[in-house]
Amino acid sequence: MTLRLALFDCDGTLVDGQAGVIAAMEAAFAAVRLPAPDRHQVRRIVGLSLPQAIRLLAPDADEDARQAADLAYREAFRAAREAGSLVEPLYDGIADLVADLGREGWLLGVATGKSQRGLDHCLAMHGLSAHFVTLQTADHHPSKPHPSMIDTALAETGADRAACVMIGDTQFDMAMAVNAGVRAIGVDWGYHSADELREAGAEAVARDPAHLRELLQ
């Protein structure tokens, strides 16, 4: 029996995490006296690993300032999480989709620019932790679109590359899938447009979770 693996991005695909990312990034830049990042640009880099995201948002800053911003971001995000003010709502229909795919025999995983701690908290908060058998985070891999996350997920699960699909809302997710030689399906409820997803390699773009389920059949 062929093992099928569906890998999901997190922010912009499973949950709408942009508010928390923007708030933490603004707090981090203020803490190290860097000019406030443009909110639209912050939204555009959601999905990248934190050091890469900060390099893009602060191209003129020196490396010391970027490293300080990295630490300040992590602290701001942790503080929001511990204070209970972090809002990362699931998109409508995602919980049912995840449960249905599991019942249909899919192996499920996550490949995200989040930290391991952040992902664990997010999945636990929504009662989804038990559904995912492989979790790949920025703590252990190069930033997307490097294929390392997908390669490791395949190794951990024993799934065939030809039976793996990467599901995400950004060009980074689609390019990572192309680089890893797996299927790429975009979702249009996240942070990059459907046209951008197709240009980056998406074979299709789902309108909603019900449409995504159809595309996975």
The answer to whether residues 185 and 165 touch, using CB atoms and an 8 Å cutoff, is yes
Handedness of CA 63, 67, 68, 72 (dihedral sign): positive
- Write out residues in the chain with pLDDT < 70, as ranges: none
Percent of the chain past pLDDT 90, that is, above it, reads: 90
The model's pLDDT over 67-85, given as tens digits with 9 standing for 90+, comes to 999 999 999 999 998 998 8
Q: 83: alpha, beta or left, given left = phi > 0 and alpha = psi -120 to 50?
A: alpha
The model's pLDDT over 166-185, given as tens digits with 9 standing for 90+, comes to 999 999 999 999 999 999 99
Q: Set out the domains of the chain in order of their start, with CATH numbers.
A: 5-16+88-215 (3.40.50.1000), 18-83 (1.10.150)
Report the pLDDT value the prediction gives residue 196, as an integer from 0 to 100.
97
Report the pLDDT value the prediction gives residue 139, as an integer from 0 to 100.
92
Considering the candidates 9, 16, 70, 169, report the single residue annotated as catalytic: 9
* DSSP H helices in 116-186: 116-125, 148-157, 171-180
CA distance 180 to 177: 5
Respond yes or no: is residue 64 known to be catalytic. Answer: no
Respond yes or no: is residue 62 known to be catalytic. Answer: no
CA distance 205 to 3: 23
Report the pLDDT value the prediction gives residue 169, as an integer from 0 to 100.
97
The answer to whether residues 69 and 58 touch, using CB atoms and an 8 Å cutoff, is yes
